């Protein structure tokens, strides 16, 4: 992948007696030597002077402060993580990242793999120019890449046609519901069971069925808030 991408995530760095801070600094400095050699191999001897000067400058910037967070900020900035913040974590050094640049997978994973001995956990998610999605996850001592896609459900059709919620319509609908509640001759036990079943099923229309013996469709027609023809183009499910 070699195109513009954005992303965000975090990684947690933790030092142990076997992997102290200075060791990480030295590893990052040695990485510059390796990158310098690779670039010279590609460009040739004619470019040696300015290539070596560039990497000397990058080394000096890295060691400007004796602070692991500063070292990480410098190297992460170089591969496209232009916002690097120190997070609040109970253990280790939590580094929060934002990426926006040309995405160079080999360069990014090369740096992340260099930091593996000091990494406790991490996850960085990216979005590409074509709205593709992938992420780097630190799992079982190594960085792995996962890709995926976001799927959106089609909106479900409204079960009933819309109606104007004017004072008159609402008054007539409420009056019809009240009338049907009064004249519903189901036993209290039947009503209670139906109400509980509607609650368990998150069935709002079932609540009206339990109280009135009628669906919202039937109550609305009786109240005149819409006409029978208005519902022809809608999916109406009777309880």
What is the model's pLDDT at position 206? 86
Contact 17, 116 (CB under 8 A): no
More confident of the two residues 228 and 147: 147
Reported as a single tens digit per residue, the pLDDT across 101-122 is: 999 999 999 999 999 999 999 9
Alpha helices in 11-162 (DSSP H): 21-43, 48-62, 68-78, 105-114
pLDDT at 235: 47
Supply the pTM of this predicted model: 0.61
SS3 content of the chain, % helix, strand, coil (to 5): 50, 20, 30
Confidence of residue 65 (pLDDT cuts 50, 70, 90): very high
Share of the chain above pLDDT 90, in %: 48
Average pLDDT over residues 135-139: 95
Confidence of residue 91 (pLDDT cuts 50, 70, 90): confident
Query: Taken in order 230, 231, 233, 234, is the CA torsion positive or negative?
Result: positive
Residue 215: name the closest of 228, 202, 204 by CA: 204
């Amino acid at each position: 992948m070699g195109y513009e991408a954005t992303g965000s995530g975090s990684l947690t760095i933790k030092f142990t007696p076997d992997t102290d801070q200075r060791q990480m600094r030295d590893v990052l400095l040695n990485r510059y030597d390796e990158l310098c050699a690779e670039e010279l191999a590609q460009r040739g001897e004619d470019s040696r002077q300015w290539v070596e000067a560039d990497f000397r400058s990058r080394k000096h910037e890295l060691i400007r402060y004796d602070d692991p967070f500063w070292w990480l900020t410098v190297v992460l900035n170089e591969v496209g993580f232009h916002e690097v913040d120190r997070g609040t974590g109970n253990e280790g050094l939590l580094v929060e990242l934002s990426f926006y640049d040309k995405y160079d997978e080999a360069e990014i994973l090369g740096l992340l793999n260099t930091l593996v001995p000091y990494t406790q956990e991490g996850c960085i998610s990216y979005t590409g120019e074509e709205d593709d999605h992938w992420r780097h996850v630190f799992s079982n001592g190594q960085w792995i890449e996962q890709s995926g896609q976001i799927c959106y459900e089609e909106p479900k059709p409204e079960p009933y046609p819309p109606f104007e919620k004017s004072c008159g319509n609402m008054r007539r609908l409420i009056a019809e519901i009240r009338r049907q509640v009064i004249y519903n001759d189901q036993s209290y036990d039947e009503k209670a069971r139906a109400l509980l079943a509607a609650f368990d099923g998150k069935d709002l229309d079932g609540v009206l069925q339990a109280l009135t013996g009628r669906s919202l469709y039937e109550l609305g027609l009786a109240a005149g808030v819409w006409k029978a023809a208005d519902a022809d183009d809608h999916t109406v499910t009777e309880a």
